[in-house]
Amino acid sequence: MAGEMNRRDFLKASAVTGTLVLKPEILQTGAAIQPRARIPEAEQIVITVITDNYADALRPHEKIARRHAGTASPLESMLHAEHGLAYHIEIVVDGRSHSFLFDFATDFQGVKKNIELLKLDLSKIEALALSHDHLDHQAALLELLEAKRADIPPGTPFYVGEGFFVGTYMRRPDGRVVSLLALKREDLEGLGLLRIVEVKNPTPLVPGAYLTGGVERVTDYEQVPPVFVAKKGEHFVQEDFEGEQAIVLNAKGRGLVVLSGCAHRGIVNTVKHAQRITGMEEVHAVMGGFHLSGAKPEIIRKTIEDIKAIRPDYVVPTHCTGFEAISTFAREMPDQFILNTAGTRYTISA
């Protein structure tokens, strides 16, 4: 009962203030003055990649990565992969376990199958969060909620970046502009299951996990591709992904774990932002989509140079990072690099 009261108090305070467990000092960024986030240390962090672009049933365990080993027939145990990304995160803080979902990929049937194969217990979920408003991170969500609504506690908070439901667009080579947002606020609210929370500043999800808030740009080379546009009035302008979120965790005795969806504002910017808002320099792991697919070689080179300078213990590029960047990370940072596959579980312990 005491643990349940702590969780309830935490969620209530988070929803009201958007800031919990903060240092008294004030952090000034180029965008705003914000309280500095003091993230409680986690004795254990388990990140399960529900689905990603790549699956490999023969890939061995390596470093902190454990691959899925099916218990049914080989055919029934095969995991779904797609151009999409979804995570389940469980953390242990002060001996108590907390879990949440971050991003939900595209194909409902595939995501549902993987959740069941990986034996993820959604009844213990305390929050849901989305990195940004692209369909490859959220198209499966509505059907997943409908199918699993009996497992998800009513009133579960659902965190999105400020202005999420305005939507974002892509300009095709033929000049046509298409929407990339697959969710409507009214559809989610109509389920009567989630409590939508829009965030702008660093915001706690569960004890030991924060959303970054808007990521400040400090590099000159991490630019949003011009194909992404936003609608302002009657006109389309360059998208800036100001509301895109990443996750920051604090592994006890090891440092920050930064988990991105796509990092459209740059993975280096995202990690540096995490360091800035926490006041912590040590980075244990950088994981997620780095959005370098199709990037020029010099951009990939600069990114890897800056990630090397941060000196993470592990680098796990996923999803939209692209073959060229992934293979270059593998070559340039072999001791830190881990090749991700759908269903991989990463365990970080104190």
Q: Is the pLDDT of residue 210 over 90?
A: yes
Half-sphere exposure of 272 (CA within 13 A, CB side): 16
Mean per-residue pLDDT, 74-85: 91
**Which of the listed CATH numbers 2.60.120.10, 3.30.1360.120, 3.40.605.10, 3.60.15.10 matches domain 2-244+341-349?**
3.60.15.10
Given pLDDT bands bounded at 50, 70 and 90, which one contains residue 5? Answer: very low
54 CB-near residues (< 8 Å, 6+ apart): 81, 339, 340, 341, 342
What the block records as the tokens of 276 is 């800035």
* Cα atoms in the Cβ-side hemisphere of radius 13 Å centred on 217: 14
CA distance 207 to 48: 18
CA distances from 72 to 82, 118, 322 (A): 22, 12, 32
Tell me: the pLDDT tens digits for 231-273?
A: 988 899 999 999 999 999 999 999 999 999 999 999 999 999 9
Question: Which tens digit of pLDDT belongs to each residue from 118-164?
Answer: 999 999 999 999 999 999 999 999 999 999 999 999 999 999 999 99
Mean pLDDT of the chain: 91
Q: Which of 139, 127, 317, 322 is nearest to 211 (CA)?
A: 127
Q: What percent of the chain has pLDDT over 70?
A: 90
156-161 and 209-211: which strand pairing? Answer: unpaired
Contact call for residues 168 and 239 (beta carbons, < 8 A): yes
Residue 75, pLDDT > 60, answer yes
Domain assignments of the chain as residue spans, ordered by start: 2-244+341-349
Provide the whole-model pTM: 0.90
Residues in the chain: 350
